[in-house]
Structure 1
Amino acid sequence: MNGDTGQEGIYDAVIIGSGPSGAITAHALALAGFRVLCLEQGDYALPSDYAANFDMWELVARGHWQAEPNHRRNPADYPLEVSETDLAPSMYNAVGGSTVHFSALWSRLAPSDFRVRSLDGVAEDWPIDYAELSPFYDEVDNFIGVSGLEGDPAYPEGYAPKMPPMPLGKHGMKAAQSMNALGWHWWPHSNAIPSQKIGSLEACARWGTCTQGCPEGAKASFDLAYWPAAIKAGAKLITGARVSNIVVDETGAATGAAWIKEGMEYRTRARTVVLCANGIGTPRLLLLSASEKHPHGLANSSGLVGKNLMLHPNCAVFGYYDEDMESWRGPAGSAVSSMQFFETDPSRGFVRGAKLHACPTPGLLMTGIDPHRLLKFDALWGQNFHKVLREARNSLMWGANIDDLPEESNRVTLDPNLTDTDGIAAPKIRYRYSDNTLKIREFTVARMVDIHKAGGARKIIEVPDLQGEPGHLLGTARMGSDPKTSVVDKFGRAHDVPNLVISDGSIFVTGGSANPTSTIAALALRNAKELIRNLKEGA
């Protein structure tokens, strides 16, 4: 809302970031009758600008639609110092956050993901469990119209998506047949894309371009799924507002946020600050908000702000078949997923595991050219180039999210030299694959090769290090019961600053191997309902 400047008295809550957690928080608080303002440094992504609307959409997607901000360099972006990282983080700054880009895979953490310390002797247990989060998973799922199939044996009973599942398509049927041949678990993947129209979302038309913006308006990016309802309920949203720091008073309590828009500086006052700036933007702001009461950064008495960064490294294996796979049909995320290898099996020589998903391969660059770059020069030139393009329609990609265990050495700090366009210190990312991660990856790639062989693929290309993926930014302000070993409590309230709530992926204790947006959304709703209770009680 361009007419607002955030100076209109004291808000009940100022929310920083308009991604899934910010949108859900704004919606819940506004429905409860509270005065809510959200500050978003990006703008609305216009459907007319989606890369998928252009004939050369794959090339457009590699320009201002790039997943990595250092390559994209849109006005809303801030740079990342990534000279010491094995995987450059992906994110998107806009109303709806990175869900504008996400493939809408909508999977939950499993019960064991909340008890990794108890079960496997590594990392830490969450202060909540699956059963506590389950009703919030359900409420978000029902609101946005998640498509899926009840009864997945990888999850407890009661997980029942509201909408029917997407068609498996020819590529999904091939994936399922291959898994059946091996006797391995598979299930139709749940997607945050309705198979039937619901609310402001259309039914999926299977364009297959989900990560470059849905031309149909079907994907539940949160600019469409939640923000219209939040604004209708009374929430205010200011775009182009880059927050420079969270303001505190002489006692160290949060009093609001300082922000910049078009070179002008503003300050918004609020009873509560809710930080939803993602697993990199959130620790960056906490570190930028150091003060006399918080000399090492806001909410950082534990010294853990910015540490334990988890990025969910991805790997993939492409298979090329004789039969037509119709690999351009969406959704782009996954037709079939497998949790066969996500639990710890000591005989494998590592802890935890990976979630596998079978995906279509829309576009010649993704299907043919990119994977073949890993082969010899001649594989992509001359007559071979034409062969690659002809076989592209018959491809299937098995991909995997690797359970990326937290390590304090993987962290976000402030770079001493690099700044954004407003002169604010940029984040420096230090992230290295652990031995455990590399062992999971090696094992997982081999299993995906097995699946393609079981399906009769005539050519297989391994991509063990899938860069530009997946945009999962977790763990840098984790929750816990002990202020010495965590940043926030089980409702996202900062131990050091009770009127500061953090509700994005940074509060994850462990990453699991499931795509995290469903869990981020459920945690945000749970935190918002607790905040509503506290605000009503005057706490």
Structure 2
Amino acid sequence: MARTDSAAGSDDIDALIIGAGPSGVTAARLLAESGFRVTVLEQGDWPNVADYPSEKLERDLLVAGRWNPNPNHRHGPSDYPINDSDSDVHPLMFNGVGGSSVLFWAEWPRMIPSDFRVRTLDGIADDWPITYEDLQPYYDVVDEMIGVSGLGGNIAYPPGYVPPQPALPIGRIGRIAAEGMNKLGIGWWPGTSAILSQSTGSRGACARWGTCGSGCPEGAKASFDVAMWPGALAAGVNLVAGARVREITVSNQGLVTGATWIDRAGVEQHTSAAVVIVCANGIGTPRLLQLSTSSLFPDGLANSSGYLGRNLMMHPVATVLGEYEQDLEPWIGPESHPIWSMHFAETDVSRGFHRGAKWTAVVHQGPVSLLQRFTELPLAERSGLAGHELIERLHGRSYEISASIEDLPVFENRVVLDPNLVDSDGIPAPKIDYTMSDESKRALDWNLDRIVEVHEAAGAISTKRVDFMGETGWHLLGTARCGNDPSTSVVDGYGRSHDVPNLYIFDGSVFVTSSAVNPTPTITAFALRAAEHLVETASDQRTPL
């Protein structure tokens, strides 16, 4: 079946989805399998496995250039610039079929039950309009669809959760980190990963390349171009790559009618549809809706609440590097998450902050990532002979434990349209205003102190705190939040706009709170549940066609 179709402008489309990443393809596949005629518009291209940096000698150079996760460094034809000059964290993403899962590390933790009830339990932020129990069966289905490995019985979750594939080996780094946590009474668990531990269909089991973040050459990692798109295409989904959407169009009655987009030749096209679903991530989605102004929606489409683009959350991350005497075999994968800990994920106000953190053991595959941990040193002490000596000392004998903290929503953290910056098609680019809160800084500091203790208990001969890293903005959340109250949310618990009944949002923008864990499992479970509801209520759906 062809991957793209030039007939995207036809009017016999039930659902038009903008964005071919995890949420977009998950929804597209279910809708098509349910008989919907579905077209997906994606501004990027299909990634070519042969181009992945992972098995190339020049990997570090490629990751610093055209495979860099920061679009402001990558400058690809699929990318749009982002003004992040007023942001403490720099947003990261991959624009292409499969979305940012092409470059993610495939950590696959679910949110925990308390994450959905932060207002009720802790008196801060807001509760979600749905619960863990609402999403649990959809978490299970997505795990089966893409192939998730792990060990059942993790006490951070309700009883009964068992990933469909056995856990991957934790390796030397996992064992050493576990020994340190055991000595301090800190709970840990083998990694739950969107990586096959057993071959399935055309996808091989993890060969432990350890280069997950620069593309899996084995097909074991569940990047969604590999794990979900083949099924979506087989179900009849029409995918149009190289299609940059400029505007979602509306009728005089206030219903969306489709989308105007620009192809790679610079030609403007329009695709009509009964329903439009936006899956463009927590920056791309509010950008597009703010671009879609009209006399009916002068402040941006679906923005009567004023919450569109607000409450941006990006999961601040900090780490502690531990140096050891023994060889740790960091070149044996997976690249991240051999073990993880949710021991400090729940609120304990005696620590001086609300909510908690997820800890993850992380390896360093090459010299560049190690040197990036020493940017405070003068250049002469981390380059030339001094740089080689530093790498010779640490490479193969060090690893990190990172702390990803729950980033609580702040109304002033937001995505807006930049008044001057535009993309290669002349469309206004987004500007990010994001300041890490004092509470987040306290949370990072407290967790790093504990991680130093773990390294020391595990036998580290030295430790180095990396108190904050700006290049960690993978998780773009909260900018079109879901809720029951139209005055304080953009969509309902099924992703449907309060203002426009045939407009939906299924990506991380809908998050009310961020949890401390990686969001893709929850994003895809939300998308699957919402798409199922759209199918079940199709007879009641208002459309302009």
Which of 349, 372, 391 is matched with 1:346 structurally?
A: 349
Match among 397, 401, 425 for residue 400 of structure 2: 397
Deviation by residue 1:119-163 (Cα, 9 ceiling, x = unmatched) = 111110000110111000000001111000000011111211000
- 2:372 is aligned to 370
Q: Does structure 1 conserve the Cα–Cα contact (< 8 Å) formed by 2:4 and 2:238?
A: no
Say if 1:65 and 1:241 are closer, same or farther in 2 by CA, change over 3 A.
same
Query: 5+ unaligned residues in a row in structure 1: which ranges?
Result: none
Q: How far has the Cα of 1:470 moved from its partner? A: 4.2
Letter in 1 for 2:257: T
Structure 2: how far apart are the matches of 1:538 and 1:126?
Answer: 24
AA at the equivalent of 1:518: P
Instruction: Verify the 8 A CA contact 1:86 1:431 in the aligned structure 2.
Output: yes
Q: Kindly tell me the number of residue pairs found equivalent between the two proteins.
A: 538
Who is 2:16 aligned against? Answer: 14
Tell me what 1:257 maps to.
259
| TM-score (normalizing by structure 1) | 0.98
Separation in 2, partners of 1:288, 1:220 = 32
SS state at 1:119 partner: helix
Q: Which amino acid aligns with 1:532?
A: V
Q: Output the amino acid matched with 1:251.
A: Q
Partner of 2:293: 290
User: What percentage of aligned pairs have identical amino acids?
Assistant: 51
Given that residues 325 and 460 in structure 2 are in contact (C-alpha distance below 8 angstroms), is that contact kept between their aligned partners in structure 1?
yes
Alignment partner of 1:108 out of 110, 113, 134: 110
- For 2:460, the aligned partner's letter is A
Within 2, Cα distance between the matches of 1:437 and 1:199?
Answer: 43
Q: Give 1:190's aligned residue.
A: 192
2:348 matched to 1:358?
no
The residue number in structure 1 matching 2:60 is 58
Check whether the contact 2:412–2:434 (CA below 8 A) recurs between aligned residues.
yes
CA deviation vs aligned residue, 1:321-351 (integer Å, no higher than 9, x gap): 0111101111112101011111111111110
Picking from 147, 150, 160, the partner of 1:145 is 147
Map of 1:37 onto structure 2: 39
CA offset at residue 3 of structure 1?
A: 3.9
- Report what 2:231 is aligned to: 229
> What is the distance in 2 between the residues matched to 1:100 and 1:175?
28
Separation in 1 of the partners of 2:356 and 2:377? 28
Aligned partner of 1:307 in structure 2 is: 310
SS of residue matched to 1:255: strand
Structure 1 residue aligned with 2:474: 471
Corresponding residue number in structure 1 for 2:438: 435
Distance 2:70 2:502 in 1: 33
How many Å separate the matches in 1 of 2:527 and 2:333?
28
| 8 A Cα contact 1:314 1:402, kept in partner | yes
Do the aligned residues in 2 keep the contact of 1:406 with 1:510 (CA within 8 Å)? yes
Q: Secondary structure at the match of 1:343?
A: coil
Residues 470 and 412 (structure 1), Cα distance of their counterparts in 2 relative to 1, 3 Å cut: closer
CA distance in structure 1 between the aligned counterparts of 2:134 and 2:491, rounded to whole angstroms: 17
Is the contact between residue 201 and residue 220 of structure 1 (CA under 8 Å) also seen in structure 2? no
Deviations 1:15-40 (Å, cap 9, x if unpaired)? Answer: 00000000101100110111000000
Letter in structure 1 aligned against 2:341 = S
The residue type equivalent to 1:408 in the other structure is F
Structure 1 partner of 2:459: 456
What is the distance in 2 between the residues matched to 1:416 and 1:348?
A: 42
Number of the residue aligned with 2:137: 135
| Structure 1 residue 9, shift from structure 2 partner | 2.2
Give the Cα separation in 1 of the matches to 2:381 and 2:112.
41
- TM superposition shift of 1:390: 4.1
Alignment match, 2:448: 445
Contact 1:38–1:237, Cα closer than 8 Å, also in 2: yes
The reply on whether 1:386 has 2:389 as its aligned counterpart is yes
1:223–1:384: structure 2 CA closer, same or farther, 3 Å change rule? closer
2:519 paired residue among 506, 516, 531: 516
Contact residue 501 and residue 541 of structure 2 kept, 8 A: no
| Separation (CA, whole Å) in 2 of partners of 1:335 and 1:82 | 32
In the alignment, the residues of structure 2 paired with residue 205 and residue 418 of structure 1 have an alpha-carbon distance, to the nearest angstrom, of: 43
Task: List alignment gaps of at least 5 residues for structure 2.
Answer: none
Local SS of the residue matching 2:65: coil
- 1:335 aligns to what? 338
Indicate the SS of the match to 2:537: helix
AA partner of residue 16 (structure 2): V
Please give the alpha-carbon distance, in whole angstroms, between the structure 1 residues aligned to 2:324 and 2:381: 17
Q: Does 1:47 align with 2:45?
A: no
Match of 2:95 in 1: 93
Q: What is the rounded CA distance, in whole Å, between the counterparts of 2:435 and 2:246 in structure 1?
A: 28
Instruction: Give the deviation of 1:382 after TM superposition.
Output: 3.3
Q: What is the one-letter code of the residue matched to 2:87? A: T
The answer as to whether partners of 2:313 and 2:477 remain within 8 angstroms in 1 is: yes
Q: 1:480 aligns with which of 479, 483, 495?
A: 483
Preserved contact between residue 422 and residue 428 of structure 2 (Cα < 8 Å):
yes
Partner of 2:170: 168
- Residue 271 (structure 1) aligned with residue 271 (structure 2): no
Deviation at 1:376, TM superposition (A): 5.6
Note if 1:322 corresponds to 2:322.
no
TM-score normalized by structure 2?
Answer: 0.97
Instruction: Indicate conservation of the 8 Å contact 2:142/2:524, yes or no.
Output: yes
Contact in 2 for aligned 1:364/1:389 (Cα 8 Å)? no
Q: Distance in 1 between matches of 2:447 and 2:222?
A: 29
* SS state at 2:111 partner: coil
Matched, 1:247 2:249: yes
Question: Is the Cα–Cα contact under 8 Å of residues 170 and 191 in structure 2 kept in the other structure?
Answer: no
**AA in 1 matched with 2:454:** I
Shift of residue 386, structure 1, vs aligned partner: 2.5
Amino acid at match of 1:162: P
Cα distance in 1 between the residues matched to 2:466 and 2:390: 20
1: distance between equivalents of 2:62 and 2:391?
Answer: 22
Q: Secondary structure at the match of 2:273?
A: strand
State the superposition RMSD in angstroms.
1.3
- Secondary structure of the residue aligned to 2:64 is coil
CA displacement 1:220-240 (0-9 Å, x = unmatched)? 000011111100110000000
* Deviation at residue 373 of structure 1 after TM alignment: 2.9
Flag the 1:141–1:3 CA change in 2: closer, same or farther, 3 A.
closer
Q: Which residue of 1 aligns with 2:500?
A: 497
**Contact 2:149–2:163 (CA under 8 A) maintained in structure 1:** yes
